Amino acid sequence: MKVMMKRGASLKEVGNVLSGAEEAGFSPYVMRQEERVTVCLPGADRRRVEALAASLEGVQGVAAFSKNYKLVSREFKSADTVVNVSGVPVGGKEVVLIGGPCAVESRDQLFRAAEAMKQAGAHLLRGGAFKPRSSPYAFQGLKDRGLAFLSEAREAFGLPVVTEVMAPEDVARVGEHADVLQIGSRNMQNFRLLEAAGGAENPVLLKRGMMSTIEEMLQAAEYIVAGGNPNVILCERGIRTFERQTRNTLDITAVAVLKDLSHLPVIVDPSHSTGHRRYVIPAGLAGIAAGADGLIVESHPCPDEALCDGTQSLLPEQFRDLASATKAVARAVGRDLLA
């Protein structure tokens, strides 16, 4: 429910509503839209809110949220959220690039990839220490050794780290080595993991489930924000359709829709959506043109030798081409690539 204050309501009147809501057992939030202040009471019963509002000055009316996702909606916050990732702003006017291998395979491989990403203009380093794989016999990642290598690479090259977390009990441990906790497509509706990420201090990169709707993705993000972590980055990574020429179908429309419905930053993963490195650059540029705040792209120093997803990983020189083209497209739509 929402308690809408009259235009020009005083700070004292707003404070009285907040105090009254807290005394009534609600958890109020404040949002400001133009000249109006609204006190938001997620999950509150309408009759109790109306009774509270009737007893206080400066209230214009009471209304229900129109969405099942409240805190991540534009209705709750009209201004774009900018997530600060160890000094790198995600969601501002400037576009960011996240690059690196699908999986951490060895210290040498990761350091070669990180050096190449740094030189090519990436702002964050990606790499999986824990890998959810469809086959139990596929490479599952180096796990804790991989986390240690990521920490070393971060210190050596000054690139904040994005890596996946797969279980609620791993959130704190992974968070010690990573700047951003990635929740992958297969775990988008792992609600215990979402709740655990809501209690983390790290920003969270939430990937859309391969068969999930936009609304389901926003509700998953709501779990994290409602848990106390407002720093969520949404990632469109393609959905499963009948088409087989690409690994998934990149839903470019989702970028525009998410930016319209939510204040959270949105990035695109052209690697998992296409599955082929020859399509990664055009798909990524399409995402930027549609309004994405950045790209997360797989790049490997020797893709043909990669232990997973080599066919969709860019060579370092191709990542440089992507960075150059991204800058041009970003400028064409009134933005720029983060320096």
Q: Please tell me whether residues 139 and 268 are part of one structural domain.
A: yes
pLDDT at 5: 87
Q: Please tell me whether residues 167 and 230 are part of one structural domain.
A: yes
Give the domain range for residue 106.
83-337
Q: Which of 141, 138, 152 minimizes the C-alpha distance to 103?
A: 141
Could you tell me if 66 and 40 are in contact, meaning their C-beta atoms sit under 8 angstroms apart?
no
Q: Please tell me whether residues 221 and 301 are part of one structural domain.
A: yes
Which of 63, 95, 110 is the endpoint of a domain?
A: 63
pLDDT at 33: 57
Could you tell me if 13 and 58 are in contact, meaning their C-beta atoms sit under 8 angstroms apart?
yes
CATH number of the domain that residue 12 is part of? 3.30.70.1140
Q: Please tell me whether residues 192 and 293 are part of one structural domain.
A: yes
- Asked, for residue 328, whether it belongs to a domain, the answer is yes
pLDDT in tens, 11-63: 899 999 999 989 888 888 787 655 678 888 877 788 888 898 899 898 888 87
Q: Please tell me whether residues 58 and 87 are part of one structural domain.
A: no
Helix axes 252-261, 277-289, angle to 10 degrees: 30
Q: Please tell me whether residues 51 and 182 are part of one structural domain.
A: no
- Asked, for residue 75, whether it belongs to a domain, the answer is no
Could you tell me if 59 and 6 are in contact, meaning their C-beta atoms sit under 8 angstroms apart?
yes
Q: Please tell me whether residues 38 and 186 are part of one structural domain.
A: no
Q: Please tell me whether residues 191 and 312 are part of one structural domain.
A: yes
For residues 89 and 92, give the distance between their C-alpha atoms in angstroms, rounded to a whole number: 6
For residues 101 and 295, give the distance between their C-alpha atoms in angstroms, rounded to a whole number: 14
- The reported pTM is 0.86
How many domains does the chain contain in total? 2
- Asked, for residue 246, whether it belongs to a domain, the answer is yes
pLDDT in tens, 193-249: 999 999 999 999 999 999 999 999 999 999 999 888 999 999 999 999 999 999 999
- Asked, for residue 74, whether it belongs to a domain, the answer is no
For residues 104 and 112, give the distance between their C-alpha atoms in angstroms, rounded to a whole number: 11
Q: Please tell me whether residues 45 and 166 are part of one structural domain.
A: no
Q: Please tell me whether residues 153 and 54 are part of one structural domain.
A: no
